[in-house]
Amino acid sequence: MFAANPKNGSPCSRVYVLRRIFVGNCCHFTDIERKKRKLPLAARKALKAVTTALFIIPSLALAVIGMPFRIAGNAFRSEMSMICSGKPEKQYSPQQGLHLMTYNTGLMPGFIRNLNDLRSSNRRAAEIAEALNSQSSSTQPDVVCFQEVFDRHATEHLCEGLKQSYPYIVHSVAPRETGLNSGLAVASKFPVLDASFRPFKDLAGEDQLANKGLLRLVLDLGEGKTAIVYNTHLQAKEGDKYHKIRTSELAQIRQWMEQDSKEEESQHEGIFLSGDLNISQADEQGKSNAGKEYQEGIDALGSDFHNSFYETHNPQDGKRLPGSAPVFLDLNQPESQHTHTEPTGSWYQGAGASERQDWGTSNWEDSRKVADHCLYDYQFLYGPEKENWASHAEVQQIGTNLKPLQQSGLSDHLPVSVIYKEAAGLKPALMSIRNSQFHTRKIQLLIDLLKDKKHLNPLVQLQQFRSREGSSLSDKEHEELNLLERTLRNAFRLE
């Protein structure tokens, strides 16, 4: 296990230096690149294949020659790097809750990002940081778990930008002799007490060049409270071989987190798992694939994991359930000309597609299609502590005000935010409810029960009531139950 443990005094007592890992790429489109993107899809695919081959052949030759030097150099690299920016730390407040975001950035070396028609990694890294920095204090995530932060220069741009808002940034985790690392990074407003990494046992295809695994951070929430945040990115590519590897990786995650929980000396406020699992209930064109691989993956994780997205969304189509409403949608796009529709997936339709799409062309900015229910990016609550938290999950479209975005978004993925709240954070909304607002006896009794047990999370109790009684409720009782849930979920509204 890799570990970085800056416990002696302030977390800033151990400050790491950015490692130079990859060859960077230019920040602006050239005339050649603009012309290339106007070519037909087949021609662009062929051009990419030729370009990639011309890059890989000499690169492999250089890799063979330089391998002994890289292996020797790797022995002296730090296991991970952490930046302490000096920005004020945050202290957790139950009223504000805990806002976590997971975001696959697609910050790859140039020859890889071109396969998905992504713009310069340097440029997008700066845009991602700008998009996060431009959010208000109430909407800005407390912790961001990034994946695919591979490119060395892009890592520098991302970290430099994030220092404006985040006092702690962990990056360049678990480097390999290939020049790649895990691709995992975390920006946190809370102090990082401990950081460690475990690599997956089995990888296949191009993923063997990287060092995918599970990153674990212990965060200081203040007043003696701590939380654990895990960040991961599973095996990519379609096919039975890769699906079996992903299922194995999810089983490894479960085993590792179970082991960590048994070895913990103190109780944590919450344990959270974030990342790109590369499993979804629809493909990258938004066509349903019956979710077989998704379900097998979730089964491998086990029942101790609670999927925060499907607490407020329909597992069948990804659409929001009637008991909740989006909170970021209008805040992200106050002046947008696009239809205010909440995405049901976290993948931009057309990225890396075999079919002709607007992605990668000058037409994309006017369409910005998201593949329906193609959700790769998830957050989970883990262990008995999951009973303490209610959550609001939402796929965000950040950076829509940045100009010019041109042929693609900030990444081929969209970030997924989850706001978590304990019972204390929901108490004002609960106590504001009056029985006279409701007319069915069952719902009035439920309100009395929630107030009697106000030390328990009322939304968790409501969901348990829905599971027990849902099939026996009348239409009117269902209507009032949804109204009760929406009233409680007003606590998630952002100013």
In CATH, which superfamily holds the domain spanning 2-25+72-421?
Answer: Endonuclease/exonuclease/phosphatase (3.60.10.10)
- pLDDT-derived band at 32 (thresholds 50, 70, 90) equals very low
Percent of the chain surpassing pLDDT 90: 64
pLDDT of residue 71: 55
280 phi/psi in degrees, rounded to 5? -155, 165
User: pTM of the entire structure?
Assistant: 0.85
Radius of gyration over every alpha carbon of the chain, rounded to an integer in angstroms: 23
The residues that bridge with 307 in the sheet, in sequence order, are 380
- pLDDT-derived band at 355 (thresholds 50, 70, 90) equals low
**pLDDT at residue 229 is higher than 90:** yes
CA distances from 174 to 190, 214, 285 (A): 22, 10, 33
- pLDDT-derived band at 72 (thresholds 50, 70, 90) equals low
- pLDDT-derived band at 47 (thresholds 50, 70, 90) equals low
**pLDDT at residue 326 is higher than 50:** yes
- pLDDT-derived band at 225 (thresholds 50, 70, 90) equals very high
CATH 3.60.10.10 residue window(s) in the chain: 2-25+72-421
pLDDT of residue 330: 74
CA distances from 91 to 95, 112, 137, 177 (A): 12, 39, 13, 39
Contact partners, residue 414, CB within 8 Å, separation at least 6: 343, 345, 346, 347, 348, 370, 377, 395, 396, 397
Least confident of 192-201, 262-271, 420-429: 262-271
Contact partners, residue 111, CB within 8 Å, separation at least 6: 51, 52, 55, 56
What letter represents residue 439's amino acid? H
Question: How confident is the model over 177-204, as a mean pLDDT?
Answer: 94
